[in-house]
Amino acid sequence: MKVRYLLAMTVALSVSVSAIAADNKAQTLFKEGNCNNCHNLTDTTVGPSLIEIADKYRGDSGAQEKLEKKVRNGGSGSWGVIPMPGTRQSISDEDIKILVAWILEQKAKPKVEEKTVAKPDKKTK
C-alpha cells in the first residue's frame, strides 16, 4: 500500500514539475521573442491580451496550427490594423509550438466578489 502511494505521489510530482518547466520556458520565450512589447497577459496594449487570444480560439481544433503560422510569419487584420511582425528565424518551430500552446492555455482569473458588510440601523426611537 505504501509503495503504491509513494509511486502515485512520485508520478504526480514529476508531472507537476514538467508542467511548471514548460510554463517557465514559454514565459521566457515570450520575453526573449519580444512578444511582451505588444502583448500582455490581461490587458490589450498594441496587440490583444493573451487571454483575449485564448478566448477567441478556445474550442477551435485548428487554433494551434493557425497561430503557429501567424507567430512565425506575422500577419494583420485579425485584431485591427496594426500588423504583427513575424518571429526571428533564430526561434525554432518547436519553441513556437511551446509558446502557442501556453498562450492557448491562458484563462482569466475568476473575479472575487467583495462582500458588503451590513451596517447596523442607527435609528433612534
pLDDT per position in the chain (125 positions), as tens?
Answer: 565 655 555 555 444 445 566 678 999 999 999 999 999 999 999 999 999 999 999 999 999 999 999 999 999 888 888 999 999 999 999 999 999 999 999 998 776 666 666 666 666 55
What's the rounded Cα separation, in Å, for the pair 63 and 114?
Answer: 36
Q: What per-residue confidence (pLDDT) applies to 49?
A: 96
- Helix 2-32 to helix 93-104 angle, to the nearest 10 degrees? 110
Q: What per-residue confidence (pLDDT) applies to 102?
A: 96
Asked if 26 and 98 count as a contact pair (C-beta separation under 8 A), the reply is: yes
pTM for the model stands at: 0.71
Q: What per-residue confidence (pLDDT) applies to 114?
A: 62
